Amino acid sequence: MIVAESRRQSRQYVNSVKAESVLPILLVTPATVGLALCVGLPTLLSLVGSFFSIPLVPGAPWQFVGFDNFVFVFTDDAVLQSIVNTFVYSALTIVPSLAIGLGLALLANAVVKGRALVRTLLFLPMTANLVAMSVVFNWIFSFNGGFVNQVLGLLGVAPINWTGDSQTSLLTVAMVGVWRTASLTMMIFFAGLATIPTSIDEATRSDGIRGLVRLTKITLPLIAPTVVFASVMAVLNSVQVFESINIMTQGGPLGSSETVLTMIWKLGFEYFELGRASALSFVLLAVLVLLGVLQRRTLAGGVK
Amino acid sequence: MTRASKVLLTLVVLAAVAVAIFPFYWMIRTSVAAPSEVLSGGLGFFPETVTLENYKRAWEDGALGQSIIVGLANVFGILALQLVTCIPAAYVLAKVPRRWGRVLLTFVLAGLLVPTQVILVPLFIGVNAVGLADSLGGLILPFATSAFGIYMLRQQMLSIPDTLLEAAKTDGLGTIRTLISIVIPMAAPGIAAFSIFSIFVHWNDYIWPLLVARSPELRTPPLALAVFQQADAGMDYTALTAGAAIVTAPIVLLFLVAQKHFVQGMSGAESPS
């Protein structure tokens, strides 16, 4: 009888498992199909497309060109300049953004009165629309009557053609980049600092550990995952800069502020060299994926 | 803290706040100035006259009024699809153990590594091939689901106690009923944070609409503003800053009313889709 009972139970179990096994598959299907079509397939296509000359007309045959697109990407002067510019832009933005973001998070945390207001105001650059703010910065850095040149004029400095001079164009968009990215990293550091238990704070204080020692020996090690995450976000933001350049300099003058993403855009949608654009995209993707994997390695255990 | 270091701290923080908000001030200040004030050269730090005429020009001549409708349809169309696709998937990945769950999760995590900007070219080739270029569908459908959304919601749902779901099962609730009446309410903070993140990203997105929206009536607010700058307004910074304020205001307001969720979403990650 016990055997019959357990058989009945197990048959019931099998039936419910059957019904229950289809449903979860149905539940994940839309997301899986969506990711496959909108992320998986394009990623694959960006690799495959790198080896072809692709006409813009849908359905027209692709022509296999071997490694020509990659050769082009690594030998063309304009593309190489855009790669160099991306490195320069990143150098100008990443470290300052992280230093300012961390510094401001620490300082604003120490503010007693009006801390919430200070934090909200410091978050604003991150929240605003970058196209809109680039239009505003265009005006602030405008050669004629722009605020920066007005202030410089008061100091007796001749007006500078910030966005229109190949010496300053990249620097100008980099300043906008720091203005925005420092706000993002500060937001991330704020969240990280909030995870430090107050007991540790009190203990270090009563032990008289403060200043730089406290920062490097206590605070930074405690928020190490946050530091890694903020760094990755700063790098991602810098390497993929687009809006500010598209609005303020269009990559010019003479390609002096062209970056990888604006170059991909030009190759693909102004020169209609979709194969070459795919090749450059794929190089950028490889770099970003490598970066993401490194981040996960560093944060091993962070992902369950 | 000594008195001197307190003063220094306050000064540094005030300076940082000034730099952070100055562009916003200058945007508003310019947007209410008479165009002649700007053309005559120096614009004073404080407004002399206040006019809303520039907003009218940006709204009508810059077609920003029309673009806001497109922007809202775009943002909420994307959000609706993302919630419908991400919530059930996150639920299964968090609470319905399956042998293939591990594989699917790896797929989602891999998707997190691929920013839209980088697969722009193949994505456009695909959208063009299925005839969706220059349509609202072309704006919305590529973002119908989000690896970040699935991952973030799954993390949130993991913290729901299993005993609660066991109890629901004992009470005879099926998978779907459990999802609707227990999991979704308990994951509400995560859903709110992700929703705000999604609205933020897609209201501000520029590069994809720039590519897909060829017709003027499909322009999203940032795109309409960019076109306004290039085509009509040129150096007319009073109308342009008014336009910038119109584009920025909704998202800044959203941030101000939902700062907690916003920060939770942002400090999670900042890559679109």
Please spell the DSSP secondary structure of B123-188, one letter per residue.
HHHHHHHTT-TTSHHHHHGGGSS-HHHHHHHHHHHHTS-HHHHHHHHHTT--HHHHIIIIIHHHTH
Partners of B86 on chain A (C-beta within 8 Å) are 31
pLDDT in tens, B74-122: 999 999 999 999 999 999 999 888 889 899 999 998 888 888 888 988 8
H/E run at residue B80: helix B64-95
CB A130 within 8 A of CB A180: yes
CB distance A288–B96 less than 8 Å? no
**What does each C-alpha distance from A268 to A79, A281, B190 come to in angstroms?**
13, 10, 37
B70 near B217, Cβ under 8 Å? yes
Q: Give the integer Cα–Cα distance in Å for A63 and A51.
A: 8
Q: Which helix (H) or strand (E) holds A163?
A: none
- How confident is the prediction for chain A on average, in pLDDT? 86
Chain centroid, CA B118 distance in Å = 18
Give pLDDT tens digits for B136-191.
Answer: 999 999 999 999 999 999 988 998 998 988 888 888 888 888 899 899 999 998 99
Is 50 exceeded by the pLDDT of residue A302?
no
pLDDT of residue B234: 62
| Amino acid of residue A189 | F
d(CA B68, CA B71): 5
User: Could A240 and B118 be called an inter-chain contact, meaning their C-beta atoms sit closer than 8 Å?
Assistant: yes
Mean pLDDT of A50-72: 86
Does the N-terminal peptide bond of residue A253 adopt cis geometry, omega within 30 degrees of 0? yes
Query: How confident is the model over A160-182, as a mean pLDDT?
Result: 94
Residues of B in contact with A41 (CB under 8 A): 122, 126
Q: What chain B residue is nearest to A54 in terms of C-alpha separation?
A: B125
Q: Where are the alpha helices (DSSP H) in B49-63?
A: 53-60
- The CB density around residue B259, as the number of other CB atoms within 10 Å, is 16
Select from A129, A239, A291 the residue whose CB has the most chain B CBs within 10 Å, as the one to mutate to test that interface. Answer: A129
And the tokens for A24?
């979860």
pLDDT at A29: 92
Long-range contacts of B249-256 (CB under 8 A, 24+ apart): B250/B68, B250/B203, B251/A127, B251/A128, B251/A129, B251/B199, B251/B200, B251/B203, B251/B204, B252/A124, B252/A127, B252/A128, B254/B196, B254/B199, B254/B200, B255/A123, B255/A124, B255/A127, B255/B200, B256/A120
Asked if pLDDT for residue B42 goes beyond 60, the answer is: yes
Over residues A221-240, the mean pLDDT reads 87
Handedness of CA A222, A225, A228, A231 (dihedral sign): negative
- Using 50, 70 and 90 to split pLDDT, how confident is the model at B46? confident
**DSSP code for A217:** I
User: Which of A12-16, A70-74, A203-207, B63-67 is least confident?
Assistant: A12-16
**What is the per-residue pLDDT for B273?**
31
Q: What are the CA-CA distances from residue B73 to residues A138, B76, B136, B200, B227 (Å)?
A: 29, 5, 8, 14, 20
Nearest C-alpha in B relative to A62: B125
Q: How confident is the model at residue A190 (pLDDT cuts 50, 70, 90)?
A: confident
Q: Between the CA atoms of A191, A197, A201 and A207, what dihedral angle is there, to the nearest 10 degrees?
A: -150
pLDDT at residue B97, as a whole number? 84
Which residues on chain B are in Cβ contact (under 8 Å) with A150? 42-43
Tokens for B134, please give them: 């220059």
Q: Is B19 exposed, middle or buried (0-12, 13-18, 19+ CB in 10 A)?
A: middle
pLDDT the model gives residue B116:
85
Q: Which residue among A124, A145, A233 places its CB closest to the CB of B24?
A: A124
Work out the average pLDDT over A204-227. 80
Mean pLDDT over B126-134 rounds to 90
Contact A169, A253 (CB under 8 A): yes
| Secondary structure element (H or E) that encloses residue B46, with its range | none
Q: Which two tokens stand for residue A67?
A: 């490694």
User: What's the length of chain B?
Assistant: 273
CB atoms within 10 A of CB B272: 20
Min distance A1 CA to chain B CA atoms (Å):
25
Residue A196, both tokens: 């430090």
Judging contacts by C-beta atoms under 8 Å, the chain A residues touching residue B30 are: 136, 139
**Which residues does chain B have within 8 Å of residue A247's beta carbon, measured at their own beta carbons?**
226, 229
Q: What is the DSSP letter of A64?
A: E
Strand partners, A64: A52
pLDDT over 80 at A78, yes or no: yes
What are the counts of helices (DSSP H) followed by strands (DSSP E) for chain B? 16, 0
Burial of residue A53 (number of CB atoms within 10 Å: 0-12, 13-18, 19+) = middle
- A219: pLDDT strictly greater than 80: yes
Asked if the Cβ–Cβ distance from B248 to A264 is below 8 Å, we say no
pLDDT of residue B4: 83
Q: What is the least distance, in Å, from the CA of A165 to any CA of chain B? A: 18
For the segment B54-71, the average pLDDT, to the nearest whole number, is 89
Q: Do residue A31 and residue B86 have CB atoms under 8 angstroms apart?
A: yes
Substitution target in A135, A186, A287 with the highest count of B β-carbons within 10 Å is A135
Question: pTM (2 decimals)?
Answer: 0.88
Percentage with pLDDT > 70 across chain B: 94
Whole-number mean pLDDT of chain B? 88
- B69 min Cα distance to partner chain A (Å): 17
